[in-house]
Amino acid sequence: MGLDVNKDGEEKSGVQESGDESEEKITRNKSETSLCATEEEDDDEGGNIELGPQYTLKEQFEKDKDDESLRRWKEQLLGSVDMTNAGETVDPEVKILSLTILSPERPELVLPIPEDGNPKGSWFTLKEGSQYSLRFSFQVGNNIVSGLKYTNTVWKTGLKVDSKREMLGTFSPQQEPYTHVIPEDTAPTGFFARGSYTAKTKFVDDDNRCYLEMDYTFDIKKDWSNP
């Protein structure tokens, strides 16, 4: 969650490859899990590619199990997968557990994610001009989540002042939580930078499944608030 009251943050755009038009078109059934609306709608209707059918993680391991070379390739591709957390459905389960604010100027501030996903009141305070980074902790179950992304948009007095997108990666199910640290940023400083901000954070994957959509407020002040 970088902040810059002078310019909008940059966003990275994904690259999509298209196949030969002469090849047979294959489709994938859409997931029934929540889908997130993107900030930028794709105007090119022909640019969307529908992929082949999905399989559960257990089905992936069972398929072609008699082919030794293919089995080894799958093990290299999927890595060390905890099959006790693999389910019988194709949809992955991702639960965002906490946000931790890291700064050399103060102890770690761990903020659990509320059950309803929306913190009440001001969630935290940043010191103006401070260097900080964010660390997210999350759990993955049931199936592999592909292309998990973090997006964050910040407003002050109704004006968008920052927008960030960070690719977290692809993760297999396991009991131990994963962690991901957002690159370090610097809080804005000065009279106009101080005050209250509103923000919206989303975690979505390559299939646009939405695992968390969180609205919250935070403050920038002359000093850190008490832990």
- Give the model's pLDDT for residue 168: 95
CA–CA separation, 75 and 91 (whole Å):
20
Lowest mean pLDDT among 16-25, 36-45, 78-87: 16-25
- Give the model's pLDDT for residue 81: 59
Pair 97, 177: CB distance under 8 Å: yes
Single-letter amino acid code for the residue at 31: S
* Closest residue by Cα to residue 221 from 193, 184, 199, 186: 193
* 96 sits in which H/E element: strand 93-103
* Residue 101 pLDDT class (50, 70, 90 cuts): very high
CA–CA separation, 31 and 22 (whole Å):
27
**What digits encode the pLDDT tens for the residues 126-169?**
999 999 999 999 999 888 899 999 999 999 999 999 999 999 99
Report the phi/psi class of residue 77: left, alpha or beta, with left for phi > 0 and alpha for psi in -120 to 50: alpha
* Residue 117 pLDDT class (50, 70, 90 cuts): confident
Can you give the pTM of this predicted structure?
0.69
- What does the pLDDT average to over 191-203? 96
* Stronger pLDDT, 210 or 59, i.e. the higher one: 210
Whether 172 shows a pLDDT value over 90: the answer reads: no
* Closest residue by Cα to residue 223 from 126, 95, 155, 122: 126
- Give the model's pLDDT for residue 47: 46
- HSE toward the beta carbon, residue 58, CA cutoff 13 A: 9
* Closest residue by Cα to residue 213 from 87, 125, 94: 94
* 40 sits in which H/E element: none
Cα dihedral: 131, 137, 143, 146 (round 10):
0
CA–CA separation, 213 and 201 (whole Å):
6
Helices (H) and strands (E) in the chain, counts: 2, 10
* Closest residue by Cα to residue 1 from 137, 172, 226, 184: 184
